[in-house]
Chain A
Amino acid sequence: MSTGVTATTQKTVGGIRRKFAPWNDPAAVPLIRYQNVTKRFGDFVAIDNLNLDIYEREFFALLGPSGCGKTTLMRMLAGFEEPTSGQITLAGQDLVGTPPYKRQTNMMFQSYALFPHMSVWDNIAFGLKQDGMSKDAIAARVEEMLKLVKLEKFSKRKPHQMSGGQRQRVALARSLAKRPKVLLLDEPLGALDKKLREETQFELMDIQMELGMTFLIVTHDQEEAMTVADRIAVMNHGKLIQVDQPAVIYEQPNSRYVADFVGDVNIIEARIEATGSGTSTLRAEAAGDMPLTVHQEVASRPGDTVFIAIRPEKVRVDLDPPTEQGANCLPGTVWDIGYLGDLSIYHVELANGSRIKAAKPNLTRMVERPISWDDKVWVSWSADAGVLLTS
């Protein structure tokens, strides 16, 4: 991948990206609208009365475990499934009843679905030929696409004569060739190894910016969704649990489900002692008689059960009690250590037997870490590190 080009476009991309937020603009008209969409397969409810707006030029990710309905949601946009009830519109046009071959969406399939009996060139030209484009126009567009995915030299190859990464790019070129209003990507990078996947994620973002297109990606890989997407919809059991920008999803999850699905998290069950003026005080069994503080107000009343979610990287572990004021601080014993190279994850057992995870970057090359198994330690986190969740 030519890193030179990528680096220069990256700057402008960043600039545009930072300002891009049509979902906050009440005047913006969504490109794709799902309105009260329900899809049943027999008794199974795949999509449950769902509403979702996606805007033009957005890179939107559907994230969730397998069977959560994310693929069905995408396939309904492509036309491979019809909603049982509800409406799907694309650029103001009602799509229900329109067959897939008349929709202005194109899809990149998880298996790539490259036609094995056609060359790379013919695969990319396939969609253009269906539109009855002139020969010259087709040739020009195919060349352009081959250039875009850097496969100019491979146009005469058959799919089975190419590596997985190359096939993936042919599939991308083929689905982009018709300049669809929306490009649908169904687990597009699932078959690639980790390194290549990470490279390709950035490439996808560049292409999306360069062509100014709307991308809808389905993935179960949260890192992938966070990397590429402007907004992420976290799904479960056919419902949208949270739809927001990656940082919001990660830092302010709206439920234990989202907090747990996206990234690693400690969840502490607690009772509210007082809440108001931006701060809540809580009691938790895990904390013994130490009160816990979170800089967040909740609608619950004192005595109600809530959950504190804290990311491991926001938890500190020290051999001595921290001196920081206002921090939540609990004593414990190191139960286990997971060494990951860049980080070490400390599993600390608290007084009541529950465990809390703390991630500590390995800042030096020491092989013997200062904190070891069975050491008495202190875990601490600041009052704005945790999030209070009521569900």
Chain B
Amino acid sequence: MTLVEISEMERHYVMASETVRALDGIDLSINKGERIILLGPSGSGKTTLLNCVAALDNPTAGDYSFDGESVPRNHAEKMTTFRRENIGYVFQFFNLLQDLTVLENILLIQELSGKRDKKRAIELLSLVGLEAEVNRFPAEISGGQQQRVAIARSLAKSPKLLLGDELTGNLDSATSSKVMEVLVKACDAEGITVIMVTHDESLAKYATRVVRLDSGKIISDEKVNN
């Protein structure tokens, strides 16, 4: 069942002397439950595609529908609502709120979405293996643990699609593996579709599909048999 349907998506940036075509006619269809990894060199358009999928950015042209509905564009509040209802996001640098405990970081997102559920927040922390750290502050736990909190946080409002931008880019390989295993486990458990941007080819083993981009175009789209 198709969750994301992108057709002829373009995103152009007008610079001083030229127009940069960051996305240049992307066609992409993603089914529910898939785990997609976007690979490609710097400037290939990975992050721009992720931003457009997250409704953080407005495509210059093309169509984008999510779960059968057209995704709003050029309307900040509607785009925010779309994100709130559908999208989870994990950053490279975790970006946890330092003033809040691990548990409170998750509760905050729930409160902002209007559905505080402490039991579920604790369940999510258990899912990422951090049930013992609920009352600790981000500064008191390791980078890998912080990223797992960030994953739990992004799952807190039960998104349909989880997006990750270089989410292991700031972690060593052992920690990266652990985080990815947690992510796969958690998303499988919650039935969440995942799109991750990375430079790291080794993460392909955690994906069901690898999409490669270059110069704003998809140059390969392969299913992975894990």
Question: Do the two chains bind?
Answer: no
